[in-house]
């Protein structure tokens, strides 16, 4: 029997239908799924499968047509826009394919942003942001702006920003889509390490099998439906050596 206290996201009969002119497009066709705390969950499928729409539903960025979405015990499908904004601020972090850094701000200032919205004082948020940037290998780039950094460095800033306020759930939509192969592995290793050390839950949208291989829970999606779910690491041997402690 599943321990329900271990479930952080519970989805029941989720449907999303868009009306385009006179045509109805079914993006999600009755999704039922559960995601456990501390897992790396990959929403895996080809372009147009509905995986990004599903992520947007789980993150409260779009309203479902019908169905239930419960996150950390709260029914987000019933929340109004203000309630959703407050819930996202306190519970979610986001890593974007295109980084979404503010170009006028330094790396440190970009990482501080989630803590500003939570009302954390300047001294503490600067300390925490600097610590996170050091952890992601950007100690010497703290005062650099996005245009002074490579794509890989910008994504590291994005990871630091997503995790700095210790949200229980991180969403990442094709987070390595603009990166080369070597940097992709570095970024994925870094996010995986951060998730495991902090006990967070990471939900990744990807069409790349190598990225999906990082998942504890892989949900294959096609035509708005779940084709298959797997838990490839359930019986895997533990890592030989512990990773460095995350801040």
Given a contact cutoff of 8 angstroms between Cβ atoms, the answer to whether 53 and 205 are in contact is no
Question: Judging by beta carbons within 10 Å of its beta carbon (0-12, 13-18, 19+), is residue 139 exposed, middle or buried?
Answer: exposed
Domain enclosing residue 217, as ranges = 38-62+91-230
| Integer angstrom CA distances of residue 244 from 109, 140, 159 | 25, 20, 16
pLDDT average, residue stretch 136-142: 95
Candidates 146, 189, 165, 187; CA nearest to 88 is 165
In a domain, 79, yes or no: no
In a domain, 71, yes or no: no
In a domain, 99, yes or no: yes
Specify the pTM.
0.91
In a domain, 102, yes or no: yes
Residue 241 confidence (pLDDT): 44
Q: Binning pLDDT at 50, 70 and 90, where does residue 245 land?
A: low
Residue 2 confidence (pLDDT): 47
Q: Give the pLDDT confidence of 55-66 residue by residue, as tens digits.
A: 999 999 999 999
Residue 137 confidence (pLDDT): 93
DSSP states along 119-179: T--HHHHHHHHHHHHHHTT-GGGTT--GGGS-HHHHHHHHHHHHHTT--SEEEEESTTTTS
In a domain, 23, yes or no: no
pLDDT average, residue stretch 182-201: 93
In a domain, 219, yes or no: yes
CATH code (residue 196): 3.40.50.300
In a domain, 2, yes or no: no
In a domain, 236, yes or no: no
Q: Is the pLDDT of residue 216 over 80?
A: yes
Rounded to the nearest angstrom, the gap between the alpha carbon of residue 35 and the centroid of all alpha carbons in its chain is 13
Q: Give the pLDDT confidence of 19-44 residue by residue, as tens digits.
A: 998 999 999 999 999 999 999 999 99
Residue 240 confidence (pLDDT): 44
Provide the domain count of the chain.
Answer: 1
């Amino acid at each position: 029997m599943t321990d329900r206290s271990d479930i952080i996201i519970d989805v029941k009969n989720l449907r999303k239908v868009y009306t385009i002119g006179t045509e109805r497009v079914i993006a999600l066709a009755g999704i039922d799924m559960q995601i456990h705390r501390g897992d790396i969950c990959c929403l895996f499928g080809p372009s147009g499968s509905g995986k990004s729409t599903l992520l947007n539903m789980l993150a409260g960025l779009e309203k479902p047509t019908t169905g239930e979405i419960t996150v950390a015990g709260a029914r987000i499908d019933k929340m109004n826009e203000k309630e959703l904004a407050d819930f996202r601020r306190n519970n979610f972090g986001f890593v974007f394919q295109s980084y979404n850094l503010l170009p006028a701000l330094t790396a440190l200032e970009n990482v501080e942003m989630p803590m500003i919205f939570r009302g954390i004082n300047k001294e503490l948020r600067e300390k925490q942001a600097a610590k996170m940037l050091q952890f992601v290998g950007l100690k010497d780039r703290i005062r650099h702006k996005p245009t002074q950094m490579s794509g890989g460095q910008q994504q590291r800033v994005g990871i630091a920003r997503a995790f700095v306020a210790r949200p229980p759930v991180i969403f990442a939509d094709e987070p390595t889509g603009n990166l080369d192969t070597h940097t992709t592995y570095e970024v994925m290793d870094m996010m995986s390490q951060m998730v495991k050390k902090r006990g967070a839950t990471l939900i990744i949208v990807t069409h790349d099998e190598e990225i999906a291989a990082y998942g504890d829970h892989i949900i294959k999606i096609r035509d708005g439906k779940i084709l298959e779910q797997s838990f490839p690491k359930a019986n895997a041997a533990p890592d030989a050596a512990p990773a460095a402690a995350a801040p």
